[in-house]
Amino acid sequence: MPTLNKLLFFCFIYLPLLVSSHSSYAKALKFELSPEVTNGIYLLAQPERSAAGQTQKLQLEFGEMNGQTILAAASCPRCPAAGYRLLEVESEELGRPVFFNSMGIYVFAYDATTFVTVMADGPLGKKIWKNLAYVNVYNKQGTEGINLEEGKQFVIAEAKRLMTGEGIAKSEVTGGNGTYYAAAVQTIGSGQYDQIDVVIYPKEKIVLTGMNCRSCSHDTYNFESELSQAVGKNVYEMGYMGRFIIEQKTGELWWTNAKLGKAEWGKNSNFNVITQDKNFARKLLIDKTLQNNIDQTLAGFATKSKSAVDARYKQQDLQRTANNKLPTKGMQDNSLDQDSFIAATAWANSYGWKETLMYTYITSRDWRILRHPLTGIQTGRRISGVITMKRDDGLCSYQGAVFEQAYNGTDYQKTVMVGVVPGQNKLDCSKL
């Protein structure tokens, strides 16, 4: 298999035999490149290092090979060529050919015989360029071109135009299934994607699958009826993991990691927008006002979600309170009931309980004997009971408790409380 350099060298030598003057790349472009017009010797605005040493001339060849539209540049007939592939989508959006290679260098066609090469501070279509790590201008020998400063301003303006949508054709937004674009890269499974295949099963689930990869990850978000009703939009959650998708409007999904229904919108709450409108996705990256508007809207959604869930919890709590009743009494021993109440009062005071204790009673039918783990000698006995109390909110409650009496070999000692069953059970005071 040929190496990259050999492949590009082959392209440089034989490309004129492979190109077509009616390439499909040119649809919607303001001008079309052709081998007849474009190919030739180009003068560089500033010298570059090459396989032939420092040079200020390059041979450019344009054409198609293996189904791809490419631009190749070499400093001499036997030198390995640098190859750039056409970015079809970006070229169509900007209305001019734009090429790219694996080194991160873009080549913009200023016209059919002038090219600007650039390495910037971010991917094209992801930010407005401000700092250019490298820029040069290639003007075909014998034609009128532009200087280096004009080339810089040109590529910066084109990159900005792509972000703002100025002069860019509007995306078709139909809603439903299809290709969506993430404003920021979206994590799906173990991968990150800026282009996503979306499949929507209305009020059932949404499936996101990364695109442009061999084995793309996918995530499934299931419909949440309660949250949807609360915010007035269809809401889907990924496996109770606190990751949500909101169908904000046709062709636009909002993703958030906010704990909808559990917490208010906070500093660690983030969002992303996944939309069919690529122009909107790009604009969102640079428009702080638009970001703030979405942030505030999601904060409102979080408040509505939490209020709805809190109201449900309150209603469920009221229902449990209405249905609650005291556990059945076990051993009947008035003296033990009084002793256990004294023990419970001491426990409550030591832990600063705010409730007012009413009485205690035993729920076990008999004592359980306690023994030393090695000798088996009896050390005491244990029994379960209930503490009843009044609360500050006008309700009453009960809580399970454990009482013990130590054994000295002859007699049982003072009753003490040694633990409680976690959680109070509220109930109407008339049931005490």
- What local confidence, expressed as pLDDT, does residue 15 receive? 40
Residue 51's pLDDT band, with cuts at 50, 70 and 90, is: confident
- What local confidence, expressed as pLDDT, does residue 50 receive? 80
Residue 269: CB atoms within 10 A of its CB come to 17
Whether the pLDDT of residue 6 is over 60: the answer is no
CA torsion 13→14→19→21, rounded to 10°? 70
Q: How far is CA 329 from the centre of its chain?
A: 54
Secondary structure E strands in 121-217:
132-140, 178-188, 191-201, 205-210
Please give the model's pTM, rounded to 2 decimal places: 0.73
Closest to 241 (Cα-Cα) out of 258, 226, 225, 228: 258
Closest to 85 (Cα-Cα) out of 69, 102, 104, 106: 69
- What local confidence, expressed as pLDDT, does residue 28 receive? 57
In degrees and rounded to multiples of 5, residue 36 shows phi and psi of -65, -40
Choice among 44-48, 76-80, 220-224, 366-370 with the minimum mean pLDDT: 76-80
Domain residue ranges of the chain, discontinuous segments joined by +: 4-164, 178-318, 334-431
Tens of pLDDT, residues 137-147: 999 999 999 99
178-318: CATH number: 2.40.128
Q: For residues 37-44, give the mean pLDDT.
A: 96
Q: Are 263 and 171 in contact (CB under 8 A)?
A: no
Percent of the chain with pLDDT over 70: 93
The C-alpha atoms of residue 304 and residue 269 are separated, in whole angstroms, by 16
The C-alpha atoms of residue 321 and residue 50 are separated, in whole angstroms, by 83
Report H helices in 120-234: 148-164, 225-231
- What local confidence, expressed as pLDDT, does residue 10 receive? 35
